[in-house]
Structure 1
Amino acid sequence: MKITEKKRIRNSEKYMSHINEGGKANIGVAITAEVARKLQEIGFKTLLSGESLVPAPKFGPVSKFNVNGKDVPQKDKPKETVYRQQHWSWTDWGGNSHSRTVDIPYQRYPRKWIPAPWVELMIVQSGENKFVIAGDTITKGQTEETDIVHRINLMLAIFKQAEIFQENLERYEVPRTVKLGWDILPEGEMPWETFKHHLTPVLNSKSKGKKIIIAERLETISKYNPDFHAIGDNGYQGYIIFGFTRENLYIFENAEYGNATYVFEGDWEQLSKMTKAEIIASNIHKHRFVHLDGWKRQIAELFPHHTDKKIS
């Protein structure tokens, strides 16, 4: 996946979502005439495979951190007294020169030292094509997120682009998003053990920790015995609908970590064609439950007459 028109990213999740856990990749750019000129500007001589260097600090904050490391203020801790030196010089009334160095106290937050990553850029070749890559091969789920983000930001700072390649330097074929209609699963009571198999494609792209949390939410709603489920990615991309027609309730639960649960009454199909922004702006949802402590209780209060029985 190619990243352009960004000066810096905060996290790599959406750029790595097409890579399976344990998958290996390289962060870099293909060498074009423009990239080659930039490589020579930062100090590369031959542009032959195997040539490498650590970019100088002069290319901005990211390259400066890459070489020098940095102190990060710990604003969750009380300030402390530290000192800086200052040199004073003066001439007295008699024309005599004097000078001294003094320590001046001031208050600041404690600093945490983050060592320099010291990521090298290296020229590599695959077939007829040359690339410059940042550091060695990364592994999704094992390489630290901060390391991945730093490498991408280093490429963006120097080349104004970055790309995530396969381990063999082939480009990933990232599937295009295709808008599909809702897939209405068979009506009637569907036990969780049966329903969860339909969610495999939805959950497979999530990390292990997020997969557990999302599955637990979906299982919680399923125990109230919806009479239909719908999976789709129309206006409410990523949402799964639990239909409780007897109660005239339709629960829209998102398969993305961190999104809220929406509860509607009425024509769920028409509602599902609206975007989330349209839904929120028109305030037509009956409830909006944020995924925090108390979420399970809020779901339970929708079904006051439900007898809590073990999920089959």
Structure 2
Amino acid sequence: MSSGFRSLPDEIKAEIDSLGEAQFVFGAVKNFSEQLLADWTRRLELEEVDDEAWIALPPASTGRWSRWNITGREIVRRDLPKVFRSWTIEAPDFSGSGTHPITHSRDVFQKQRLFGQQIEAAVTRRSEPRDSLVGTVLLTLPAPYDDEAEQAYLYAASLARTWFGSATAYSIDETGIPLVPDRHVSWDFLPDGTVEDIREAVERKFGGSALPQEIEIIIDRLQKVQSLGPEKRLVGTSGLQRYIGYLFGDNFVAFENPRVGNALYLLYGDWESLSQLSRSELLSSRQGEFDRIIHTSRWFERLRVAVYNYRHG
């Protein structure tokens, strides 16, 4: 499984903020499989407490965040002013007949002791909106995003990522049950747009979290894909929601995530069904129905050849 976060990602902050006035928990939703259930319950040492519901305090062996959850930890508060500290040690005399004290003084960062909260993990099986396993961290948090609660967000998100492989914020109902949304994507088709339209859209979407040079890379990538003459562009709300799709035919779509560090995906055949999957599900179970193009120096040449081969059979 993945480890936790060093700091809370901006994407998670925005996700929390988008929930509005709500209570939520961090967790993950995966398509049901006996293998996944066995892995989660065994590795997290979960006990069945109800029909298709398992709960326990995961052991320290599952990762450092699990260990901190049990025993606590000490953190350095670099966000606070330094304080003056002095300490004394005993040093041997030059004559070798005894010792004498030496005092050191300097400004140091303050430290804070965070005690383990013994937060439990829960897994339930759901039949709606699809047959799935819902793993959650049993720590209720407030939305929208609040700077003062950032350490609590980081704590719970890191536990979710450690225990379940990912961290998504799910609103809960009045009984504390996570509200798992239907992951169906409704794709909207967009007009082609000019270079100026693309720049305006990119700056509006990524300007707050991307550096200026990254914005230029994003625009360059989108312009290059657009230059191949796709029939339509499309965007969605879940699954591959961070991607812009370029429809080159009824059964060939290129999905480009313009943020630096992400790959371009070519989906074949029933692309609408494939686009409902997360990247991890796509990579692990749908080999042969897609290709993945890493943004190396020759990424555009690979895409251009793929589009040519599709158009010419």
Decide which structure has greater helix share: 2
Please indicate the TM-score interval, normalised by the length of the shorter structure. Answer: 0.3 to 0.5
